[in-house]
Structure 1
Amino acid sequence: MRTLLTFCYFLAFLLTVSCGENATKKESQDINKEIQEENNNSTTASEKVILFFGNSLTAGMGLDPNEAFPAVIQQRLDSLNLPYTAVNAGLSGETTAAGKNRINWVLNQKVDIFVLELGANDGLRGIPLEETRSNLQTIIDKVLAKNPETKIVLAGMQIPPNMGQEYTSEFREIFPELAAKNNAALIPFLLEKVAGIPSLNQADGIHPTVEGQKIVAYQNVWPVLKPLLIEK
């Protein structure tokens, strides 16, 4: 049943794949500048940075930015008095190629934990799997080149079998394979317990509601993130 629900969810995603994909290069640059300014203004020397780098799922499309899962994670961090600032660097419509091209914009300061949530838009467009894999690896490489001590978290994603079962299966395996290769933490499926459940998604059937974002944050992201916060 969950497999069917997940498939229905992503089929809807496929039919309305825009996800803000018409964002212009100028808009992307403006957003990245805002991210840089927010980083400079909201963090202190004693705070550590968790950078969430992704597409509309990270950006919280359709919601107030304070309701997106990175902001929910910030609320948890604050409640525990942990010295971390969660930065939302999500951009609607982002592909791995676009992410690769803009990653340098958001690496303007030391990043302690880097959460990479990209790939869904690639899979829905049938982009060659090796291209997606290569782009994700390049993003990881750039982050580590900037700071080898940065901890990487990779958010797993799934797509429906529209491109064929082989493509679908191989796409799903990209994330655990890259996580293992790079000694990165893995969120097995970012939208687990949310995808395909109407009450947890907005009217478009694509993007999580406020409650859905809380499930993503607390049940899917936090259990993977928490151990990294206490590692020496």
Structure 2
Amino acid sequence: MKTILVMGDSLSAGYGMSAGEGWVSLLQQRLQRDAPGWRVVNASISGETSAGGASRIVQAVVREQPDIVIIALGANDGLRGLPLADARRNLARMIGASQHVGAQVLLVGMRMPPNLGADYTRGFEDNYRLLAKTFDTALLPFLLEPIATDRANFQDDNLHPTAAVQAQLLDHVWPALQPLLD
């Protein structure tokens, strides 16, 4: 059995919905149908930051020995205005630890609203491209891209997607993940 380890925040943990409704749970169902022999370990935690992920990654990859690690962190860093270099260093540590155990990495990016300024917003997005290029990983630039522009796709907090759009998120992630399954 091959393993996909997902290291994410509330967007991957399925915040505000039942356990089976989030995109990561739907991924496990799709793999059972389309790529049997794969299992998903969802190590996502609501509120997680890149620093939290970096502190947990070594233990997680040693424990799970994943073939693929999906790193979907950064939203909480951006919402808190974490310096871009700190976020980049944390994500780099996660990628490096994953590659060290032989896993392929899919880095899933996030975008920030412009309230922290254009330079921060642009730099935040550039971090993911730079890391993917530096470490030669697969990149999905923006997890929420297919749903981001419609307020109806979000829970009342206007941050977390509804259960109804989780399949769209999976359909967005799938083309970036699928080549790593072969």
Query: Normalising to structure 1: TM-score of the pair?
Result: 0.75
CA RMSD, 1 decimal: 1.2
Q: Aligned match of 2:118 in 165, 169, 187?
A: 165
- 1:53 is paired with a residue whose SS is strand
**1:108-148 CA distances to partner (integer Å, 9 max, x unpaired)?**
02100000011111111111110100010011112222x1x
Q: Does 1:78 align with 2:60?
A: no
Q: Aligned match of 2:13 in 54, 59, 62?
A: 59
Q: Aligned match of 1:151 in 66, 84, 104?
A: 104
Q: CA deviation at 1:171?
A: 0.7
Q: Aligned match of 1:186 in 139, 148, 173?
A: 139
- 1:26: which partner in 2? none
- 1:31: which partner in 2? none
How far apart, CA to CA, are the structure 2 residues paired with 1:128 and 1:194?
27
- 2:48: which partner in 1? 94
What is the correspondence of 1:129-140 to structure 2 with a 5 Å cutoff? 129-140=84-95
Q: Which runs of 5+ in 2 are unaligned?
A: none
Runs of 4+ in 1 over 3 A off after TM superposition: none
- 2:71: which partner in 1? 116
**1:55-76 CA distances to partner (integer Å, 9 max, x unpaired)?**
0001000011211111111111
Q: Aligned match of 2:82 in 127, 134, 140?
A: 127
How far apart, CA to CA, are the structure 1 residues paired with 2:34 and 2:53?
31
- 1:197: which partner in 2? 150
**1:7-56 CA distances to partner (integer Å, 9 max, x unpaired)?**
xxxxxxxxxxxxxxxxxxxxxxxxxxxxxxxxxxxxxxxx1001110100
Q: CA deviation at 1:203?
A: 2.3
- 1:178 is paired with a residue whose SS is helix
Q: Which runs of 5+ in 1 are unaligned?
A: 1-46
Q: Aligned match of 2:167 in 214, 219, 232?
A: 214
Contact residue 110 and residue 142 of structure 2 kept, 8 A? yes
How far apart, CA to CA, are the structure 2 residues paired with 1:200 and 1:55?
18
How far apart, CA to CA, are the structure 2 residues paired with 1:170 and 1:162?
13
Query: Normalising to structure 2: TM-score of the pair?
Result: 0.95
Q: CA deviation at 1:81?
A: 4.6
How far apart, CA to CA, are the structure 2 residues paired with 1:114 and 1:71?
15
Distance 1:81 1:164, change over 3 A: closer
- 1:90 is paired with a residue whose SS is coil
Give the paired residue count: 181
Between the two proteins, what is the percent identity of the paired residues? 41
How far apart, CA to CA, are the structure 2 residues paired with 1:104 and 1:143?
8
